[in-house]
Structure 1
């Protein structure tokens, strides 16, 4: 018998059984240890498993879909295409960006399948960047993503507060008009309730998302049908619904005005990276995460387009809708089409959808904070990476997100600042989305170990399209929504984004470059090797 045969005979044997568990057995067949296959893969990526894997594939899809809350998001951004193109802005200002976002989603799905960890995007950047720039790429991506995550929580919940004030306004026949102060108070109440809800165990959060998706899809379909049926004689012709263009931006170029309508789908189609961020809580994450990303983006894009088509048919007068006193013009559309009681009925469900969208986003943001803190990248990381012993979830990270979103909410006392905050959320998130995609098609072409989902040779053309699209849309979102802006109509997204860029840059130069090394290992190398 050769030395290699003797060594093999006396070596431990690692197998994957039918249940997806990794069994390590001694040469005589006795069971030494059992680990979930997902945990073994996570160990290869460098992390010890700390979550309970209680999200199924269906629940992961539901989570990624719910976080985009299609009916509530469309209700929030309905005014964007109204101003920037009218009927054409609603129909085609939604469709065109959705086609490009699918390329971003496809590239992200490939990365999530290869490296299913809560660290997500900044981990991808670290592994695909040249070794000498690995930590810097991780630092930039992480801060961009956290900026987008926290500001998106604030944007969603502030819009939910505006929906509530709109319902109060309509319900009181305009006699009760709540200003910025009460709206901010409602925001804080929403954030507090989300903090309590999102501190729950993983199993509870997973089951809740099945409820979320039923409410979201049901309300969206009800809104589409009600707008088409109840508009009756007020419904515009098919030609008007698809071809009538109105430029209310003040920009002389109709083409440029139309491009500004792209902000609506870009704000809605954010947060689908959540499937990657909960991958450490998902069974079969390498398959479930990419499926969730692709299905959720496609479903949201499709339902959102149908909803905007219905809204275009039901919008008899763009000027009348834009002239509403309600905080959100979509509320006026439902009021005009369905009347007071019909509007309040559908609006109540839309508020519920927006509420659960905010809850899902808090979970997503908290996982990013936890992961970044686990890699010691945040001030006070030792607090934010702690897991609650009862729920086995990062409760401290949840409440940090809630507090930071509440502080950002102070910008809501200015409508201009609030809109700029929403733009900053989109920019921050998409910069973090596209950074690892850019590295994938440049320095990381040979570094990626494909997971169950792979783009194959299509990774390069799709990656180029994704990078080009995000560069274009980032510049677009920095422009003011109207020509000749004043202090009240200026887009301050550039100020918010640059503030974070300057903070992250100074932190890197002064301190972080000396101690931040990118993703750290929380498992022993020996353990990682045994799991392979």
Structure 2
């Protein structure tokens, strides 16, 4: 008896299950789109998609739409990225240069974002980078390209967090120097503050999902508020 026939027989024996195909939820599955699996109709549509991909849902879906947006918004780092360079942009490019520079750059960024959104919607799995790479690559190079993408992403994640902590520590020490002109930050001050920020971020990342969702929402609101304040302070009235 084939696997497909056995699954259909199992579904007929258990009325709480039904048969679902990856084609029914418009995804490309690692088990093949001709394969069908048993599925509980009482679960959510998102979990049905995961099941159709050949996986079992493990993580709790406790992020709202705004919370999910907050994760991406926080990763963008608009406050340190834009506010810290806004002074140079105004001086050398002016208001017109900043406006058109952002608009032209936004077109390219949106093309990349839409492409990534399309790929993510087709392969909605954890570790989507190397999974999508394997599904989109020629069969001969799937393993190699997935290995390269996986490890390159790992090194980015390992180096990105300390760099963000270092930037945050530098900004805090700069504020100290602005209020106390006699203070000069030694290297070990910056190092210890960077380590403290990194450990604090690690503790937050280990918190329950609901806590992380709330923290992400609050940080996004604060990011928007401080970014607006930076624009007002930097603008040459």
TM-score by structure 1 length? 0.36
| Aligned counterparts of 2:228 and 2:113: Cα–Cα separation in 1 | 24
SS in 1 for 2:43: strand
Offset from partner CA, 1:451-510 (integer Å, 9 cap, x none) = xxxxxxxxxxxxxxxxxxxxxxxxxxxxxxxxxxxxxxxxxxxxxxxxxxxxxxxxxxxx
> Alignment partner for residue 18 of structure 2, among 14, 17, 20?
14
SS in 2 for 1:35: coil
Residue matched to 1:178: 185
Is residue 2:188 matched to residue 1:150? no
1:42–1:49: 8 Å Cα contact kept in structure 2? yes
1:42–1:116: 8 Å Cα contact kept in structure 2? yes
Task: Give the superposition deviation at 1:211.
Answer: 0.8
1:169–1:177: 8 Å Cα contact kept in structure 2? yes
> Alignment partner for residue 137 of structure 1, among 133, 138, 145?
145
Task: Give the superposition deviation at 1:225.
Answer: 3.1
1:81–1:93: 8 Å Cα contact kept in structure 2? no
Task: Give the superposition deviation at 1:180.
Answer: 2.4
| Aligned counterparts of 1:117 and 1:76: Cα–Cα separation in 2 | 35
Question: Structure 1 residues 139, 176: closer, same or farther in 2, change over 3 A?
Answer: same
1:126–1:135: 8 Å Cα contact kept in structure 2? yes
How do residues 205-354 of structure 1 correspond to structure 2 at under 5 angstroms?
205-228=212-235, 231-232=236-237
| Aligned counterparts of 1:158 and 1:70: Cα–Cα separation in 2 | 16
User: What CA RMSD, in Å, does the superposition of the two structures yield over aligned residues?
Assistant: 3.0
Q: Which stretches of structure 1, 4 residues or more, deviate above 6 A after TM superposition? A: none
Residue matched to 1:478: none
Residue matched to 2:25: none
Residue matched to 1:47: 55
Question: Structure 1 residues 182, 90: closer, same or farther in 2, change over 3 A?
Answer: farther
Task: Give the superposition deviation at 1:175.
Answer: 0.5
Task: Give the superposition deviation at 1:72.
Answer: 2.4
Task: Give the superposition deviation at 1:191.
Answer: 0.3
SS in 2 for 1:67: helix
RCO comparison, higher one (Cα < 8 Å, 6+): 1
How do residues 58-137 of structure 1 correspond to structure 2 at under 5 angstroms?
58-78=66-86, 85-87=92-94, 90-137=98-145
- Size of the aligned set, in residue pairs, is 209
Is residue 2:164 matched to residue 1:162? no
Question: Structure 1 residues 106, 81: closer, same or farther in 2, change over 3 A?
Answer: same
1:157–1:187: 8 Å Cα contact kept in structure 2? yes
Offset from partner CA, 1:11-44 (integer Å, 9 cap, x none) = 655389xxxxxxx89xxxxxx7843332232233
| Aligned counterparts of 1:94 and 1:159: Cα–Cα separation in 2 | 23
2:134–2:143: 8 Å Cα contact kept in structure 1? yes
Offset from partner CA, 1:190-236 (integer Å, 9 cap, x none) = 001111111001111112211112111122223223444xx43xxxx
| Aligned counterparts of 2:66 and 2:104: Cα–Cα separation in 1 | 28
Question: Structure 1 residues 90, 156: closer, same or farther in 2, change over 3 A?
Answer: farther
